[in-house]
Structures are given as C-alpha cells and as structure tokens.
Structure 1
Amino acid sequence: MSATTGDDDAPGDWRLRPLQSRPGFLIRRLHQIHVALFLEECASEGLTPVQYSVLTALDQMGQVEQAALSRAVGVDRTNVAEVIARLERRRFVRRRLSPDDGRKKLAVLTELGRAVLKRVEQGAARAHERTLAALPEARRESFLDDLALLVESNNAISRSPVTG
C-alpha cells in the first residue's frame, strides 16, 4: 500500500526506491559527469558545453536568428543571448540586426570561431567517448537511441523545446 495515496497499485512508487536509482537523479548525475569530462578535455579553449553547442549549431546552420538558434540548441532565448554575447566578446561570433526586421538579431560564426571549433573537436569527441566508455560498444548506439526517444517524447514539455 502506498503511504501517499493509499492505493496498492500506485504505479512507480519512486519514493520507495533509493535516490541513486531514480531516473532524474541518474540523468542529472550523468550530465554533471559529462560536463566535467568536457571541461577537462576542452580546458585549453575555455569553452563550456553550451558554448560548444552554440558554435556547432552556428557552424551547421550558418547565419541565423538568435531565436532560431535558441530552439536549435534547446536553451531559452535569454541564456542564448548571454552565451552569444560572451562568444562575441571572444570574437567567435558576430551579431547584427536583421535587415528584414530590426527587432531580430542574427548571429554568425566567425573564422576565429570556426578555428576554435576545429581545435576543440578532438577534445569534445573524447568527452563523448569517455561518457559512454563504461557501456559495451554494442550497447552504445542503443543507449543513444533510448536517450533520443526520451528527449523527443518529452520535448514539448521542456522550458526550451528543440525544433529543427
């Protein structure tokens, strides 16, 4: 019988499970671990994983409106604007007002930004590999597929849904 509902058939009574075996806890811990690995592997360039994502998205998308960039990387508009401002100060990104709508800002990767992205590529790849290293190689793609399914099926309820 569930202490909170009085229902014998309460689905997934997570309260009874140890904290360390709950999905939210494990996902948060894996994220913390991956961030630590990324920062270790990419320390020479001083990029955060979110900055790396923004640079990668700009490399793939070309010049893009900040709102579209926000949707592409799943980070809210305010935070993307702050990340872009930091990247702009380092001359990795250039911003300008949209010629079609002066209220919108466009961002584009600079040659310096493209060069730093190329320099950090190997370190980022090592961080990804190290994050997955404990899994047998045969299970890694399946794990990534499962993560993608969880993200895609819950994307709409996110504070910053990914589109595109």
Structure 2
Amino acid sequence: MEFRRLTADDAPLLVEATGKETGRALWDSQPAGPYTLADAEAALSRWTDEDQSFGVFENNRLVAATGLMPDGDGSAELAYWVRPECRGRGVAVAALRHLTDWAHDNGHTRTWLEIRPDNKASQRVAERAGYTYERRIPNHCESHDCLIWTHYP
C-alpha cells in the first residue's frame, strides 16, 4: 500500500472510489457517497495545509482516505474511510496506524476519533489501531451521540 497526501488531481480517483458507497456519513444521515466530480473537487479543496487528507493506494487505485484536523495544543481529530469492497481486509487499521504515527511525529501528542455508537466495525478498527475509548458525548454530532477514542504516543 502507498500512503500519500491527496491533491486536487485525485478528484477522479475519489469519484471512482466512492461509486458504490451507501453507508451514511458521520455528520448526517446521507450516504458518504457516491461523489460527483464537483463533490470530489469541493471536498479536496477544503483540505488546507493545516487540515490534511491522505490517500491509501493499491495499484494506483484509491482504497481509503484519512484526514487530520488539528484542534489546538498538540491535539488533532483523525478520520478514515475505506471503499466498501475493501472493508474487512485490515486497510482501515493500517491507514489509521499510519496517520496516527504521522500525527505524533509531527507534533500532535493527542489524536482522537469520533465514532457513532452503533458503528461497531469502526470501534474495532480504533481498538486494533491502539486507541482507547474515552467517553460518550450526547448529541455531539448533529443529532446523535459520538464516542471519543484517543491515542497518545
């Protein structure tokens, strides 16, 4: 697997990767995909030098995406997504471990995740990647609770 920063040039790969997505996005009840080219370009343009997005590639095909959003004082929220047909193969764990190590190597002493309480698969990913359950925040993500998982070097 290759890990690298996503750029605007990756928009067509993001469109292709999300083409079969039916799972809901964390922040609302709508599916996380599929993206149109305009959706992909807009999403990639929102990532700045501070907020960073990385792709996981196999044979020049985007199989996962991760994001890092600093929230001050050496802390950063991390996020991850894996294309539906690649789930269950350890891609999410590898991607999250890679981004977590990158974050710690770049000055983030605390990394954390927001996970829906009903997303058991994502909770297993967090645990396998070395994260620890910290707390439940009621109605944190729009209209539902979020579980906070943390990692320290």
Q: Please give the TM-score of this superposition, normalised by the length of structure 1.
A: 0.26
**Which structure: larger Rg?**
1
TM-score (norm 2): 0.28
Higher relative contact order (CA 8 A, sep 6+): 1
